[in-house]
């Protein structure tokens, strides 16, 4: 990632994070996207704890968008098992497009409400 792109993403990230935060009632669903993997965490910002997490590490070989959808469904199943049904979506400075959108749709399909 070029320096300018990284700075732009961080600027967007901080702007979005100044407006949203996770509470015990509605924790924050944060997405991190690397070139090969995608990671999702559900975070309670008041206690600074990660409640649930899922990633594409160790998944079978498939297109990255399909992996992202499966990670979204997996995190939704874990969240519902932990008693979490509503979250605030944090796209972490990424555009709501492609893999980030697939994670959100997978989580919705799994039963989470945004």
Ordered structural domains, the chain, with CATH:
3-110 (3.30.420.100)
User: Which tens digits make up the pLDDT trace of 63-86?
Assistant: 999 999 999 999 999 999 999 999
> Cα–Cα distance between 63 and 61 in angstroms, integer?
7
SS3 24: coil
> What is the DSSP pairing of strand 88-90 with strand 28-33?
parallel
**Which one, of 58, 59, 60, 41, lies nearest residue 50 by Cα?**
41
pLDDT at 2 (0 to 100): 84
Would the pTM of this model clear 0.85, i.e. be above it? yes
User: Which tens digits make up the pLDDT trace of 34-68?
Assistant: 999 999 999 999 999 999 999 999 999 999 999 99
Whats the size of the chain, residue-wise? 114
């Amino acid at each position: 990632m070029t320096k300018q792109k990284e700075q732009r993403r961080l600027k967007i990230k901080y702007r979005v994070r100044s407006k949203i935060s996770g509470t015990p009632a509605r924790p924050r669903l944060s997405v991190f996207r690397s070139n090969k993997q995608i990671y999702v965490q559900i975070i309670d910002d008041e206690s600074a704890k990660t409640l649930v997490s899922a990633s594409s590490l160790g998944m079978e070989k498939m297109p990255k968008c399909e992996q992202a959808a499966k990670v979204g469904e997996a995190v939704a199943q874990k969240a519902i098992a932990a008693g979490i049904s509503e979250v605030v979506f944090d796209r972490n400075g990424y555009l709501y497009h492609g893999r980030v959108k697939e994670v959100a749709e997978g989580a919705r399909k799994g039963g989470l409400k945004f």
